[in-house]
Chains A and B, each alone.
Chain A
Amino acid sequence: MNYIGRRLVRAILLLIGVSALCFLLTEMAPGSFFDEMRLNPQISPQTIAALRSRYGLDQPLIVRYGRWMKSALHADLGYSIAYSTPVTPLLWSRAKNTLLLTTTALLLTWMIAVPLGVWTAARRGGLLDKTVSLASAFFVSVPELVIAVALLAIVVRWRILPVGGMVSADFEVFSAGAKLQDVILHLALPVSILVLCETAVIVRHVRASVLEVLGARYIEVARGFGTSPTRLLFRHVLPVAANPAVSLLGFSLAGLLSGSLMVEMVCGWPGLGPLLLEATLSRDLYLVIGGIMFSALFTVGGNFVADVMLLALDPRIRRDGDGDRADAS
């Protein structure tokens, strides 16, 4: 209990730290939302100044931070200057789209990577192992950006899939089945990019940790006792190999909201990423901060869940009390 309690406290402190850092960094970036209007010779600086003060942009940092904290405790993350609507519903409507994308990618990645990793570890040196190793080395090395742009070029050139958006223009008139198909078609490209990049990483880790366990003494002993390979796998190998995998899962969960920015931008997926990017560039202050806090919430939450899962899985942590998540690298 102490372990969980400590983690929880740390998580909360972390969130507060992120919010403070956010405010500080956005304060340091020069310019404000209304600067775009300065270029228009027909708008007077008085109007711009009046607009700034109406949205409280000329208040000192501490005051703004304090006010924001107070309302944040009521789940009110402020007001978006650009959209003239409260931040929270705006973020949530877009976060849903991002979560659809990343959760699908997460499920597919793990469903492919874990069996693949275990299999190639068990059949080490075989043809499958060599192919998978080569492919994963390739996809791990290439920057995600390059993969995204390459796949995009292929898809557009040969009109394989619809590009951009989550649904087609006349989505509303589709039947339920056609609607599902439409979303799947639009999901295909961004999910493929994410899956390709992440599977490579996870396969290597799963393979490595399974291999490590397979080489241990107690496995040899169990084998000597005549345990069947299946029982060996599920009873002895997997639970131990799970530790680093759970950490990885924690990282994956943590990245649910923030990891897909690049892909969303390149593929035109209407998620949180492009919204936040535009908000950052246009200095829509509370939208940016709200969005980062949303992401941070997921990150911290994901790590926390991973910690709890580790606690349940690994008795050594329960005993020692100071174990930590093994590192993914």
Chain B
Amino acid sequence: MRAKTAILVAVLVGLHLVLLSAGFFAPYDPTTQDRELPYAPPTRLHFEDDSGFHLRPFVYAWTSVLDGNYSGSYEEDRSHEYPVHFVVQGPRYKLFGVFETNVHWFGAIEPGRVLLFGTDGYGRDEFSRVLFGGQISVAAGLTATFIALLTGSVLGIIAGYYGRWVDETLMGVTELFLSLPWLYFLLGVRAFLPLHLSTLRTFFLLTGVIGLIGWARPARLVRGLVLSSRNRNYVLAARGFGGSDVYLLRRHILPETFGVLLTQAALLVPKYIAAEVTLSFFGLGVSEPVPSWGNMLSTLQQYSVLISYGWLWAPACAVIVTSVLYSYLADVLHSQLKSHST
């Protein structure tokens, strides 16, 4: 059991580190357009050529083939081979937003391009965009979770601890929040925001919105917990000994909630990543040219793209992998919690 948890956590941490240092792992800048290569399929890595087997893979360049109707298909140009090198120099970027460097994990000499996931409609490298997009999407999920849990806990504790009227009002408000079909409203909300918000501000607004809509469930959960622990014997005893409200909350009641909150967090992160994906899909997230998994998937709304360019499903796979990992984490935490409490 322990080993499994450790591996899971390691994989998750690794994933986050890769996303954090997306600039290094991505061979190209996510916003550089290449107008000669729209919708190019992933470049194939070759190990064998006429002179035999090579340990170092190489790629061919794509050239577009235009038949009479402009169908825009691509063919490998076998005249030049471009070997793939590791730890190369490429476009400049800022690692962690601070250190300027131009070292990338892999790449090929120009004009060879290693397009692991192909390109999108503007000729931008999909692999780089998936990595950078993950920064936005996962960060959105984590931030929104934090906001939701913080707000929810505070309100839940107040409701649970002080009971009766406070409780009823707060629960009524949470039901109100849960009853509204938010998608409709959000579609109109973008309209009356200031015209230009920097990416950062849009990001925080987005996560704020998701988090503030989502505080309702954690609030109820925490409230339930506080209610049940409020009347435990040791709490009553502590009160009898003269403990103040704050002391009781801090020392006895809050610790009960940590485990549950942690599990909730692991459950909510994939949900909020999905929420970001859905909102960006409808155009409510960060705007061009900044990538996020959601706005990359919105190109799939077009039927022609949906069935012709399968490599553009890459962000969906990324979302799935991340979500599954988090779900497993939640499961593991949950069962550990159970085994501790019984």
Determine direct contact between A and B, CB below 8 Å.
yes
Q: Are B180 and A10 in contact (CB under 8 A)?
A: no
Count of B interface residues, CB-CB < 8 Å: 48
Q: Are A14 and B172 in contact (CB under 8 A)?
A: yes
B264 at the interface (CB under 8 A from A): yes
In the assembled complex, the CB of A251 is this many whole angstroms from the nearest CB of chain B, namely: 9
A25 at the interface (CB under 8 A from B): yes
Q: Are B178 and A299 in contact (CB under 8 A)?
A: yes
In the assembled complex, the Cα of A145 lies from the Cα of B319 at a distance in Å of 12
Q: Tell me which residues across on chain B come within 8 A of A261, comparing CB atoms.
A: 181, 183
Q: Tell me which residues across on chain B come within 8 A of A208, comparing CB atoms.
A: 334
B99 at the interface (CB under 8 A from A): no
Count class of interface residues, chain A? 35 or more
Chain A to chain B: the 4 pairs with minimum beta-carbon distance, closest first = A141-B323, A29-B188, A143-B274, A299-B179
Chain B interfacial positions (CB closer than 8 Å to A): 168, 171-172, 175-176, 178-181, 183-185, 187-189, 191-192, 217-218, 220-221, 224, 264, 267, 270, 274, 277-278, 281, 297, 300, 303, 306-307, 313, 316, 319-320, 322-324, 326-328, 331, 334, 338, 342
In the assembled complex, the Cα of A140 lies from the Cα of B326 at a distance in Å of 11
Q: What mask results when residues 285 to 308 of chain A are scored 1 for a CB within 8 Å of chain B, else 0?
A: 000100010011001100100000
Chain A interfacial positions (CB closer than 8 Å to B): 10, 13-14, 17-18, 21, 25-26, 28-31, 137-138, 140-146, 149-150, 152-153, 156-157, 208, 212, 215, 254, 258, 261-262, 276-277, 280-281, 288, 292, 295-296, 299-300, 303, 324, 326-329
In the assembled complex, the Cα of A146 lies from the Cα of B137 at a distance in Å of 15
Q: Which chain B residue shows the least CB distance to A26?
A: B188
In the assembled complex, the Cα of A300 lies from the Cα of B178 at a distance in Å of 10
Q: Tell me which residues across on chain B come within 8 A of A13, comparing CB atoms.
A: 172
Total A-B Cβ pairs within 8 A: 116
Q: Are B180 and A29 in contact (CB under 8 A)?
A: no
Q: Tell me which residues across on chain B come within 8 A of A156, comparing CB atoms.
A: 303, 307
Q: Tell me which residues across on chain B come within 8 A of A326, comparing CB atoms.
A: 224
21 pairs from A and B in contact (CB 8 Å cutoff)? A13-B172, A29-B189, A29-B192, A30-B192, A31-B191, A137-B327, A141-B322, A142-B274, A142-B320, A144-B274, A145-B274, A149-B300, A153-B306, A157-B307, A215-B342, A276-B181, A276-B184, A281-B187, A292-B180, A296-B179, A327-B217
